[in-house]
């Protein structure tokens, strides 16, 4: 399998006619078919071949890749199966809509394809993006790309494994409480959750609308920045998308930061115990590298971090309960075949909603309870009030620092089945990633080392609202010069 670390390398190979886009596409699709990772749920062969043919025609006409107009020409990509693509099956890894065919394409995917990207297929995930290990898929778990007895992280586990295993060059994931950054950390790739509203959510099947964001998963920070540039910008089809001018994150990766002016916050709440020793050692080594460049490490406090998981699992499940109400067998979802299953309304709904998996059912029940009469003020309203406190913690911290640094997860990838029987332990894995979603901040995971058995460790960087350019500039410099940023 031809492996490239950056899109720049792919385009240089196209320019030198080392292979055609069609040959490259065929090679990737053959690898996907031979894979046993469980990363892909649906292949888009006809779509990918048509896109490859069009890309080869452009190369024949132009003589080389037109990087300005087609910055992603001939780049093989996988799309998390919670994003719609017209004429392609979208399952959300759930039996309840396993045969649903989308009538339109998500804005983020459409922008990638317009830029020349090749859509190889749809990627596995935790059902409706609910989970942190990718063991909750109705179609089977995704295996870790290098340690198949381990989980790849979730919910975008298929997206992370596919990139690391060389089944696609880049992928799209979605991040509600860490679902891009956690699998990126576990698998040793780059994953970015942009500022809430930076990338349109139109065409994403909603989990928790005030938290969800679409983002790239790549081998390099440079590629992640390029994908961000292509996908960002206002979308009239999404009322929550930002009207700010389009950013130029890729350009920000091409120059080194002014390290002597850089202040990096280290939250004391992230280092008070519970970290795996190998994870803590890798983060401490990263901190020393930043300090050696001239950056000033500043202790900061995020006191409401201790409430973040509790807040998240009230707000997220409440919004999920509301969003998933549409899967009722009338508008969306399986319909009873046996008349005995639909002899009355209660029987009809019982049959339809039984198609959800156990984790989705758990969250719907919790969310329905939190929103129910007599409890919504005590739970949902109060959670929203404390969520504001989390945002205020970050506002105060960013008055002192330019970025905030810490671990992505307390541990490296755990074994399949190790935490599936204890949902609370699974939920606590997101303690460092959830706050960025609650506050709407841009955040990134990038590799910074390995543990004693070779499992990747991710470094977590967070920036102020719409601070993606600063984020990728610092991350790219770490990746390029530290010796720890690619594993």
3-state secondary structure of 324: helix
Q: Which residue has the tokens 């942190």?
A: 132
Q: What is the pLDDT of residue 1?
A: 54
**What distance in Å separates the CA atoms of residue 394 and residue 196, rounded to the nearest whole number?**
15
Tens of pLDDT, residue by residue over 103-139, are: 999 999 999 999 999 999 999 999 999 999 999 999 9
**What distance in Å separates the CA atoms of residue 202 and residue 105, rounded to the nearest whole number?**
9
User: Rounded to whole angstroms, what are the CA distances from 330 to 99, 161, 327, 339, 349?
Assistant: 15, 35, 8, 15, 10
Residue 339 clears pLDDT 70, i.e. is over it: no
Residue 57 clears pLDDT 60, i.e. is over it: yes
Which of 13-22, 221-230, 305-314, 339-348 bottoms out in mean pLDDT, i.e. has the lowest?
A: 339-348
Instruction: Name the pLDDT band for 44 (thresholds 50, 70, 90).
Output: very high
Q: What is the pLDDT of residue 422?
A: 85
**What distance in Å separates the CA atoms of residue 348 and residue 327, rounded to the nearest whole number?**
12
Q: Hey, which bits of 194-295 come out as E strands?
A: 213-218, 263-267
452 close to 278: Cβ distance less than 8 angstroms: yes
- The Cβ of residue 345 has, within 10 Å, a number of other Cβ atoms equal to 8
**What distance in Å separates the CA atoms of residue 214 and residue 110, rounded to the nearest whole number?**
13
Q: What is the pLDDT of residue 181?
A: 98
Residues with catalytic function: 80, 155, 179
Q: What is the pLDDT of residue 337?
A: 67
Instruction: Name the pLDDT band for 381 (thresholds 50, 70, 90).
Output: very high
Find the helix packing angle between 468-481 and 221-231, rounded to 10°: 160
Q: What is the pLDDT of residue 462?
A: 98
- Taking phi over 0 as left and psi of -120 to 50 as alpha, with beta for the rest, 84 belongs to beta
Residue 2 clears pLDDT 70, i.e. is over it: no
Of the two residues 210 and 329, the one the predictor is more confident about is: 210
Q: What is the pLDDT of residue 346?
A: 83
Q: What is the mean pLDDT of residues 9-34?
A: 97
Q: Which two tokens stand for residue 57?
A: 């025609």
Find the helix packing angle between 221-231 and 107-114, rounded to 10°: 110
Order of all β-strands in the sheet with 263-267: 40-43, 118-123, 76-80, 170-175, 213-218, 190-193, 443-450, 456-462, 403-407, 263-267, 296-300
Q: What is the pLDDT of residue 372?
A: 94
**What distance in Å separates the CA atoms of residue 428 and residue 301, rounded to the nearest whole number?**
20
Tens of pLDDT, residue by residue over 163-174, are: 999 999 999 999
Q: What is the mean pLDDT of residues 275-289?
A: 97
Q: What is the mean pLDDT of residues 352-367?
A: 95
**What distance in Å separates the CA atoms of residue 140 and residue 142, rounded to the nearest whole number?**
7
Q: What is the pLDDT of residue 331?
A: 84
Q: What is the pLDDT of residue 343?
A: 77
Instruction: Name the pLDDT band for 341 (thresholds 50, 70, 90).
Output: low
Instruction: Name the pLDDT band for 306 (thresholds 50, 70, 90).
Output: very high
Q: What is the pLDDT of residue 398?
A: 98
Q: What is the mean pLDDT of residues 447-475?
A: 98
Q: What is the mean pLDDT of residues 190-194?
A: 98
Q: Which two tokens stand for residue 220?
A: 């390099």
33 close to 71: Cβ distance less than 8 angstroms: no
292 close to 410: Cβ distance less than 8 angstroms: no
Q: Is 17 exposed, middle or buried (0-12, 13-18, 19+ CB in 10 A)?
A: exposed
151 close to 413: Cβ distance less than 8 angstroms: yes
Contacts of 95 (CB under 8 A, 6+ apart): 138, 334, 355, 357
């Amino acid at each position: 399998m031809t492996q490239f670390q950056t899109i720049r390398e792919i385009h240089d190979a196209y320019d030198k006619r080392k292979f055609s886009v069609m040959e490259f596409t065929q090679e990737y699709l053959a690898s996907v078919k031979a894979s046993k990772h469980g990363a892909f749920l649906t292949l888009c062969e006809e779509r990918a071949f048509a896109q490859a043919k069009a890309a080869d025609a452009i190369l024949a006409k132009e003589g080389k890749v037109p990087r300005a107009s087609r910055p992603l020409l001939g780049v093989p990509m996988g799309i998390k199966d919670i994003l719609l693509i017209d004429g392609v099956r979208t399952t959300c890894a759930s039996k309840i809509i396993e045969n649903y065919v989308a009538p339109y394409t998500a804005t983020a995917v459409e922008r990638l394809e317009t830029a020349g990207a090749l859509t190889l297929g749809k990627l596995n995930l935790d059902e409706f993006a609910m989970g942190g290990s990718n063991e909750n898929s109705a179609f089977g778990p995704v295996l870790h790309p290098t340690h198949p007895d381990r989980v790849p992280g979730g919910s975008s586990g298929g997206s992370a494994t596919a990139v690391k295993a060389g089944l696609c060059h880049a992928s799209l994931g979605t991040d509600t409480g860490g679902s891009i950054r956690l699998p990126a950390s576990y698998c040793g790739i780059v994953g970015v959750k942009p500022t809430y509203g930076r990338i349109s959510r139109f065409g994403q099947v909603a989990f928790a609308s005030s938290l969800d964001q679409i983002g790239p998963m790549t081998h390099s920070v440079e590629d992640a920045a390029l994908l961000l540039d292509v996908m960002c910008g206002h979308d009239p089809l999404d009322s929550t998308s930002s009207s700010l001018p389009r950013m130029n994150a890729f350009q920000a990766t091409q120059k080194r930061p002014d390290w002597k002016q850089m202040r990096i916050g280290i939250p004391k709440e992230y280092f008070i115990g519970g970290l795996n020793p190998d994870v803590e050692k890798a983060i401490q080594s990263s901190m020393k590298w930043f300090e050696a460049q001239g950056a000033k490490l500043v202790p900061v406090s995020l006191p409401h971090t201790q409430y973040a998981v509790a807040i998240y699992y009230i707000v997220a499940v409440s919004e999920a309960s509301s969003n998933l109400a549409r899967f009722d067998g009338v508008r969306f979802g399986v319909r009873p075949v046996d008349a005995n299953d639909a002899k009355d309304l209660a029987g009809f709904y019982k049959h339809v909603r039984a198609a959800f998996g156990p984790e989705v059912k758990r969250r719907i029940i919790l969310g329905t309870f939190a929103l129910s009469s007599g409890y919504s003020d005590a739970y949902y309203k109060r959670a929203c009030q404390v969520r504001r406190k989390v945002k205020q913690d970050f506002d105060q911290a960013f008055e002192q620092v330019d970025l905030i640094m810490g671990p992505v997860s307390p541990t490296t990838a755990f074994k399949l089945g190790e935490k599936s029987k204890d949902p609370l332990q699974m939920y606590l894995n997101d303690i460092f990633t959830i706050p960025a979603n609650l506050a709407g901040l841009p955040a990134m995971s990038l590799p910074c080392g390995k543990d004693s058995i070779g499992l990747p460790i991710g470094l977590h960087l967070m920036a102020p609202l719409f601070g993606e350019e600063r984020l990728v500039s610092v991350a790219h410099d770490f990746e390029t010069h530290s010796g720890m940023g690619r594993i």
